[in-house]
Chain A
Amino acid sequence: MTEAAGGGPRLQQKVAPPDVNALVSVLREASASRSVVQVVGGGTRQGYGSPPPFDIALHMTGFSGIEEWDPDDLTVTVGAGTPVADLEAELSGRSQTAVLPEVPGASTVGGVISAGVSSLRRARLLGTRERMLEVRLVTGDGRVVRGGGRVVKNVSGYDLPRLVVGAFGSLGVITSMCLKLWPKPAAAATVAIGDAETAARVRRPLAVLEHDGATDVFLWGTPEEVFSSAARLGGEMREGLHWPADPDGRYRWSLRLPPASTSEGVSRLPATWSHLAIHGAGEIRAASDAPDGAEDLRGWAEGMGGSLVVVEAPRGGINGMDPWGRPPPGLEIQGRLIAHFDPARVINPGRLPGGL
């Protein structure tokens, strides 16, 4: 039970439609009765954005598993409810990866796409948006829509697959997507270095991550390349890629900056915050037990053209602090787009910036 908008108790219903037809019925009925739907994948990011009080918890377990995968094509079509860890384990068997978050916990593929969460390898292999080739979704009013296609290159029509990334279901509930894969090369290593500047000795590393006072460079490629790069860096080398987990705390934050300002961003974090900085990408994941200092940090980040986003906070929010900060430009158009896909506004209403 949560508090309804009017203050009274709200009766919540849990549904897990087994297929697209059942999902269409759920959404049509929700639209007809104006019931608020919260979409649940692995349940790892239910506090992200401004989640509204809801009537229906829509679990995506019925849309799980790989639909189509020919390793030769470097694409995979996968159900939205598939756990990221399961997908990556399966792909790993043929030395491929979807370049999704490395330490996903219970996250599902549909969940990380809807929340717009990217891999730690994003400075080299780019973010989750770049993985999306095709999307199938059910709109708020129950239309089954496909955009894009199952090939690695496609300019047929507007890029709906890219638009659903970070849209929190506002355009519809994703049922499946086709992702662009990347082959895993023969060798990989993690090298501990003194500071992020040292990483510049390697032109295009897979990742440079700074966390808990340590900086690691992640390398992959042919054995010759990996070992010579590691030697150039000069730090302690471990074979394989040893990814750190996201920092955890009562409050979790995402600080987004122009890439060259990443080190300054780390230095401006309040002293008690733990962090994981992705150098070259301008993303710093942070966690804290208290929100102190967040307003100042946000003011600085927004002045740099970036943002400080609240990813998770204890119930009740952060002293009136908006989870997204300054609303982005183009809110009117965003509102019109959403109205075309979810006219009764039943899927995660108000969760996006600007109350959309």
Chain B
Amino acid sequence: MSLVQDLRAVLGDDRVLEEPVELYLYSRDASLMQGQATCVAFPHTTAEVAAVVRVAEAHGVPIIPRGAGTGLAAGAIPIDGGIVLSTTSMNQIELDVENRTAWVGAGVINLDLTKEAEPYGLSFAPDPSSQSACTIGGNVANNSGGAHCLAEGATTSHVLGLEVVLAGGEVLVLGGQAPDMPGLDLKGLIVGSEGTLGVVTRALVRLLPIEADVRTLLLDFEELSAATRTVSDVIAAGLVPAALEIMDQKMTTAVENWLRAGLPCDCAAILLAEVVGEPEAVEAEAALVSRIGMQNGARNVQVARDEEERAMLWKGRKSAFGAVAQVSPNYYLHDTVVPRSRLVETMEEVQAIADRHGLDVYNVFHAGDGNLHPLMAFDASDPVMLEKVHRAGEEMVAACLARGGALSGEHGIGLEKRDMMRDDFTDIDLDAQARLKEAFDPSGLFNPAKVLPEGSRCFDFGGVRREIPDGAWV
């Protein structure tokens, strides 16, 4: 039987798609790349995922796990065919209020989890800008962050357990509510592995008590360096606010033109700071952030007076990418990290690179984490422009690496940055990474060609030489 017939025998006719238009849609994500899927499968249960894995193995066809497709690094793109396995139908949530945890289906949308937990006074901390669309499975795959991971950590800090389908259709439940499961932390290795080790079907996540009070402050500065200095000084004062986000003038203007949120457009940078905790703590911490901002030359400190104003400030921040879509048909967004002490010089270099290529660059970033998101607006129908954007992007990443930074802070490596992994890691480092992959997925079934560059698995000293099986991705 054909691949599609075998899959339909497992899932039924209507849960396997193969029409050209459907395949086209499921061969894309939020990156600029286009792949080619063989078919799309929609399992509802873990047992069905295991069955799909066995069918894929029998046919020698890879599996590309997919959540909402909001990834920006082309991590969900099928290369030269494969089964796109959509997890969106696995959307159950089981709360355990006493232990402040929940077992969550991979297809549950991030914001839906927080809404489900809210009546119990609990919330899920990771909040990517795409949280109204992206899924928990995608968050786990990419170890997603968000504005609020400064104080609480990224997704990996909130995943206590995973149910995962591995090669051979084996189902494992890793980790759990109790801490420090003896043995190697396989669960921690699967988080952030971008679907290359297996298919995550459910995650046991940590929920946090909703804070008693919150203050959101907007500070504006005539110099970007004054805004970043404020961030450093706040942390040096012993405070880790829930969020510290900066937007430059260009980005602020784009957002303001679109949303009319009342943002000041005549300053070099705005800093959005949020402090949470008990009411008296929040009062004192907000005062401290204001004072430090003023000492660094903030022109104004605006404190959101109510939930509506606060929501508007955050809408401004989280709509930044949407706002640029009003200005230009396409944008290319990079995600890199530098040590926080090198933010200002890195921003200057990013601007210089954009100028050199004649490109518009908009900046919005998680300043507390040193996590940059330079965004280039352009028209992708112009191939010369596209080439320029790619080249400038590569130079920006290189500028970050040269300052002791990292390739990606929260979007992942995917296909987009896998060849740049050689700029950050030695051949021996990459070989070690490829061995981690091989231990889980010796035949290269899961999301091939992602994360690691071709030929990473190349070193073998000392021990017994191992033959790489035919068809393995190396």
A residues lining the B interface (CB < 8 Å): 28, 31-32, 70-75, 95, 116, 118, 122, 126-127, 129-130, 139-147, 149-160, 162-163, 165-167, 170, 182-186, 202-204, 221-225, 228-229, 254, 256-260, 281-283, 301, 304-307, 309, 324-325, 327-331, 333-334, 336-341, 343-344, 352-354, 356
Contact = CB atoms under 8 A, between A and B. Distances in A.
Given A327-B183, A334-B186, A150 B339 contact: yes
A32 B464 CA distance: 11
A151 B407 CA distance: 10
Contacts of B428: 143-145
B368 to A, nearest CB: 8
A353 B183 CA distance: 6
Closest 6 CB pairs of A and B: A343-B463, A141-B462, A225-B281, A306-B178, A258-B177, A340-B435
B369 A153 contact: yes
A120 to B, nearest CB: 13
Contacts of A228: 278, 280-281
A185 B239 CA distance: 6
Interface string B147-182: 001000110110000000010000011101111111
Given A73-B340, A151-B404, A163 B188 contact: yes
A356 B181 contact: no
A353 B288 CA distance: 49
B179 A127 contact: yes
Given A31-B463, A334-B183, A155 B149 contact: no
Q: Most chain-B CB neighbours within 10 Å: which of A31, A149, A165, A307?
A: A149
Interface in B173-224: 173-174, 176-186, 188-189, 191-193, 208-209, 211-212
Given A331-B183, A343-B463, A155 B411 contact: yes
A48 to B, nearest CB: 11
A337 B436 CA distance: 6
Contacts of B235: 72, 74, 183
B295 interface: no
B142 A155 contact: yes
B11 to A, nearest CB: 26
Contact of A157 (B149, B236, B425): B425
A151 B409 contact: yes
Q: Most chain-B CB neighbours within 10 Å: which of A73, A154, A185, A229?
A: A154
B24 interface: no
Nearest to A223: B284
17 contacts: A32-B462, A143-B459, A149-B406, A155-B409, A155-B412, A157-B452, A158-B189, A162-B189, A183-B239, A203-B211, A203-B278, A224-B281, A254-B180, A260-B98, A330-B184, A330-B186, A340-B432
B63 to A, nearest CB: 18
Nearest to A28: B462
B124 to A, nearest CB: 15
Given A71-B236, A256-B179, A256-B180, A154 B281 contact: no
Interface of B: 98-101, 142-143, 145, 149, 153-154, 156-157, 166, 172-174, 176-186, 188-189, 191-193, 208-209, 211-212, 232, 235-240, 277-278, 280-281, 283-285, 288, 337-341, 366, 369-371, 404-413, 417, 421, 424-426, 428-433, 435-440, 451-452, 459, 461-464
Given A259-B177, A328-B181, A153 B284 contact: no
Contacts of A74: 235, 340
B220 to A, nearest CB: 22
Contacts of A182: 240
B339 A155 contact: no
Contacts of B142: 155
A283 B239 contact: no
Nearest to A154: B406
B339 A126 contact: no
B153 A343 contact: no
B116 to A, nearest CB: 19
Nearest to B154: A153
Contacts of A229: 278
Contact of A130 (B157, B240, B339, B433): B157
Q: Most chain-A CB neighbours within 10 Å: which of B176, B180, B235?
A: B180
Contacts of B149: 153
Given A154-B406, A307-B178, A340-B439, A159 B288 contact: no
A126 B452 CA distance: 30
Given A31-B463, A154-B337, 11 more contacts: A130-B153, A151-B338, A152-B370, A159-B189, A163-B185, A222-B239, A222-B288, A260-B98, A330-B184, A333-B166, A336-B438
A257 B98 CA distance: 13
A158 B182 contact: no
B429 A309 contact: no
A329 B170 CA distance: 11
Given A130-B157, A139-B432, A353-B183, A258 B99 contact: yes
